[in-house]
Amino acid sequence: MIEPVRASDKPYVIEVEAGECYFWCACGKSATQPFCDGSHKGTGFKPIKYNATESKKVSFCGCKQSATQPFCDGSHKNS
Ligand code: FES
Ligand code: FES
Q: What is the pLDDT of residues 18-68, one digit of tens each?
A: 999 999 999 999 999 999 999 999 999 999 999 999 999 999 999 999 999
pLDDT at residue number 49:
98
List the chain domain ranges: 1-79
Q: For residue 28, report the phi and psi dihedrals to the nearest 5 degrees.
A: 85, 0
3-state DSSP assignment of residue 73: coil
Report the length, in residues, of the chain: 79
d(CA 74, CA 25): 17
Report which ligand 2 atom has the smallest distance to the Cα of 12.
Answer: 3
Report which ligand 1 atom has the smallest distance to the Cα of 47.
Answer: 4
Output the pTM of the full model.
Answer: 0.95
Q: Which ligand is nearest to the CA of 27?
A: 1
CA of 22 to the centre of ligand 1 (A): 12
Pocket of ligand 2 (CB under 6 A): 10-11, 61-63, 65-66, 72-76
